[in-house]
Amino acid sequence: MGPKRELKFALESFWDKKSSAEDLKKVAADLRSSIWKQMSAVGIKYIPSNTFSYYDQVLDATSMLGAVPPRYGWSGGEIGFDTYFSMARGNASVPAMEMTKWFDTNYHFIVPELGPDVKFSYASHKAVDEFKEAKALGVNTVPVLIGPVSYLLLSKPAKGIDKTFSLLSLLPKILPVYNEVISELKAAGASWIQFDEPTLVMDLDSQQLGAFTTAYADLESTLSGLNVLIETYFADLTPEAYKTLTGLKGVTAYGLDLVRGTQTVELVKKDFPKGKHLFAGVVDGRNIWANDLASSLSTLQALEAVVGKGIQFSFAFYGLCMKNNLVVSTSCSLLHTAVDLVNETKLDDEIKSWLAFAAQKVVEVNALAKALAGQKDEAFFSSNAAAQASRKSSPRVTNEAVQKAAAALKGSDHRRATNVSARLDAQQKKLSLPILPTTTIGSFPQTVELRKVRREFKANKVSEDDYVKAMKEEIKKVVDLQEELDIDVLVHGEPERNDMVEYFGEQLSGFAFTVNGWVQSYGSRCVKPPIIYGDVSRPKPMTVFWSSAAQSMTKRPMKGMLTGPVTILNWSFVRNDQPRFETCYQIALAIKDEVEDLEKANINVIQIDEAALREGLPLRKSEHAFYLKWAVHSFRITNCGVKDTTQIHTHMCYSNFNDIIHSIIDMDADVITIENSRSDEKLLSVFREGVKYGAGIGPGVYDIHSPRIPSTEEIADRINKMLAVLETKILWVNPDCGLKTRKYDEVKPALNNMVAAVKQLRAKLGSAK
């Protein structure tokens, strides 16, 4: 099952009050102990600590700094689970903090809320406690902390604080806490410490870069006597950022992503400080393809000539080994990949030979380090070369018809022939929806019983007829509930789907699937990304049967529910042998076939989710335009051929959308539902600033990732804020996201309050006329 799933079940048991805090702590301690012992057993000398989190590492840093927003009622002292999980998930009285994506990954973090009056204090000793815990087991670890500057740059001004407030002005206030933590770690016997400063790869101005210099100059005396590693990842460093990084005081080593940051290699070759260590991230920590060992070894040999000689040792937070001053490393934390290929019993041997999960990546790192030291494992390198050649020549990778169809897309922007205003008029005549139409995003709660039926069907313990019967019964229950609540546009609840991307990938050619390839998304939420190994096509309809069955149960419009091409791409492990946009266009053509079949089946509202479109935005602004051009184009391809009367919805969630609002408009969807409530209605600010939006739009009115049930008054207040900046005729009302992670005793009252708020406002708007 792997540690990610074990923690998931322990967390959910604790949240459901089926187990105690001590039970949860014991599960966590057992998992940490197991991981540390496994690393130690295979000869890893420097093993990380403080990388284990109950929710996410940024929230851990917020706890360490005592930066708890006042609404949670924390009065000081060591932060416990009640406060910690209230910040992450909310509680009956107050909402959770904002959650957003960790750079351009599908991992999420809780955004710190800061202001000039925050009183920082050392309020969580987790980093020190875990170091001591490992030491008691005979394992000397390397504590890992989110760096102080990245912590501030990833934060936001708290509600009521002016947007222009400089978060970096808080640096002098948080550094004393970092000094305390470092001092305690030194006293406990730490010899190495790692600071993650991933914001160094962003577009930073001179003031922001200067903050790194200021921070580490302040920490220098406390860090004296420690080996200090600054890790960066996910992109190239600019020359200015590279100069800042390599000039930091008190720093021993620099970690660079040389997979996604290929241009950084030239900066290293041009100028690398003498006597320092380079952690060369040549093994991809974000994908599952076997490393091209021969190519990586060539890169390392070129770098070795620059970096110079020094002491030898090994280190393994990211899976790495040091040979002299050059460290062979993964490109980033292995958090973003699956755990161990050994657990995959259903992948065929050919595809399996092309892959490397976290455990295999550590082996690759060790093999490269040994080869660099003159101890090359010829058999291992030969086997790797054979697998690389097999993948390049395998007929299952290439589909000539798919490649021709994708190539034929050039020369058209694939827009629908009629403008959105005219389409909305035609759709209204057909659908006859009231003002402020209500809907949900797609999924409904996935009960234990439902998951059991799906699991048993996959294991051939339930017949197809019995499975279809069970799914139809679940759909009928969801349809009846929505009609009882008086929701206007319905969904079938997606009972047949465990995961929105996995479901479609299982039915598309060019995809492979794991049994235990779990990757954490946030908290207890884990996903199994599909593997795109070849050209993508749709052999047969994927959702028409279920959507048609659901529509037959009601006279109200039933949405056909699809996942868009960009989201399927960004939430998969994607082939790295062709540009990502080419793969995306192939997926778009497959989804286009499905959209047109749904329309033929008289499904008049079709939602094509692009929850991850913003997530895939490159970290550097210079690369934004190209990505947005092909991503938005891919979405338009999916629905360019439908009638004006077919209403196309899309959905986006948990990212910052304001900076890409014009690209969202360019998607040309008829209706977009979009996360809004958890981010303090940040989305609405773009409309206050004058952006005109003519299509239908449903900013979420409540946060589905929290068990908290919003009141009718609270939802009505949110809708009124929307009506202040959006026209009544285009506004839809819906939750932030799908409901599958919630329970029915949370969903029913929340949706009931949502509909009640809408009816109150409809009455007021009607009387105002």
Question: How confident is the model at residue 46, as a pLDDT?
Answer: 67
At residue 322's C-alpha, the angle toward residues 316 and 328, to 5°, is 75
- Average pLDDT over every residue of 246-250: 96
Question: How confident is the model at residue 7, as a pLDDT?
Answer: 81
Write the pLDDT tens digit of every residue in 48-65: 899 989 999 999 999 999
How many CA atoms are closer than 13 Å to the CA of 160, on its beta-carbon side?
A: 5
Write the pLDDT tens digit of every residue in 608-656: 999 999 999 999 999 999 999 999 999 999 999 999 999 999 998 766 6
Neighbours of 446 (CB within 10 A): 21
Question: How confident is the model at residue 405, as a pLDDT?
Answer: 95
pLDDT higher than 50, residue 103: yes
How many CA atoms are closer than 13 Å to the CA of 9, on its beta-carbon side?
A: 8
CB 523 within 8 A of CB 10: no
Question: How confident is the model at residue 289, as a pLDDT?
Answer: 98
Write the pLDDT tens digit of every residue in 317-326: 444 444 478 9
- Average pLDDT over every residue of 85-92: 92
Is 705 one of the catalytic residues?
yes
Please say whether the dihedral angle defined by the alpha carbons of residues 259, 261, 265 and 266, taken in this order, is positive or negative: positive
Provide the pLDDT confidence category of residue 313 given band limits of 50, 70 and 90. very low
pLDDT higher than 70, residue 722: yes
Alpha-carbon distance of 84 to 113, in angstroms, equals: 14
Question: How confident is the model at residue 589, as a pLDDT?
Answer: 97
Provide the pLDDT confidence category of residue 762 given band limits of 50, 70 and 90. very high
Question: How confident is the model at residue 678, as a pLDDT?
Answer: 67
Residue 385's φ and ψ, nearest 5 degrees, are -65, -40
Write the pLDDT tens digit of every residue in 405-424: 999 998 888 999 999 999 99
Question: How confident is the model at residue 728, as a pLDDT?
Answer: 94
Report which of 542, 537, 638, 555 is spatially closest to residue 602, judged by C-alpha positions. 555
Provide the pLDDT confidence category of residue 29 given band limits of 50, 70 and 90. very high
**Considering the chain, what is the average pLDDT of its residues?**
92
Question: How confident is the model at residue 412, as a pLDDT?
Answer: 86
Going along 47-181, which residue ranges are E strands?
47-49, 99-101, 108-110, 113-114, 141-146, 156-157
Question: How confident is the model at residue 768, as a pLDDT?
Answer: 62
Alpha-carbon distance of 257 to 332, in angstroms, equals: 7
Active-site entry in 336, 492, 651, 705: 705
Give the residue, 364 or 693, on which the prediction is more confident. 364
pLDDT higher than 60, residue 312: no
- Average pLDDT over every residue of 112-134: 97
Residue with tokens 């037959």: 552
Ramachandran assignment for 103, one of left (phi > 0), alpha (psi -120 to 50 degrees), beta (any other): left
Alpha-carbon distance of 229 to 196, in angstroms, equals: 8
pLDDT higher than 90, residue 189: yes
CB 622 within 8 A of CB 580: no
With residue 589 as reference, give the H or E element that holds it: helix 580-600
Question: How confident is the model at residue 327, as a pLDDT?
Answer: 86
Question: How confident is the model at residue 251, as a pLDDT?
Answer: 97
